[in-house]
Amino acid sequence: MALDEPVDTDTTFDIDNFTFVVNSEFLEKAQPIKVDFQMYGFKLDCGIDFGAGCTSCGTTGSCCA
């Protein structure tokens, strides 16, 4: 998750004064996408199974491939 400006290939969602920008092609693969605010930031869940033990793209492995 990062700050970005929408482009023609994105889908945007305005929810509770936040604008979420998602690449439309990725959205087709990843939906449903769920964004929760927790004490230390945002938690992202989606319909892509990254395999056992992969909890974020900061872990070893190919979570963001």
Residue 9: which domain range? 1-65
* Residue 59 pLDDT greater than 50, yes or no: no
Query: Which one, of 25, 33, 31, 32, lies nearest residue 1 by Cα?
Result: 33
* Residue 3 pLDDT greater than 90, yes or no: no
What would the two tokens of residue 64 be? 């963001």
7-51 confidence digits (pLDDT tens):
999 999 999 898 999 999 999 999 999 988 888 888 889 998 877
pTM of the model: 0.64
Cα–Cα distance for residue pair 26/36, rounded to 1 Å:
19
What distance separates the 2 farthest-apart alpha carbons in the chain?
35
Domain count, the chain: 1
Give the DSSP H/E element, type plus range, for residue 15.
strand 10-15
pLDDT bin (cut points 50, 70, 90) of residue 55 is low
8 A C-beta contact, residue 56 and residue 45: no
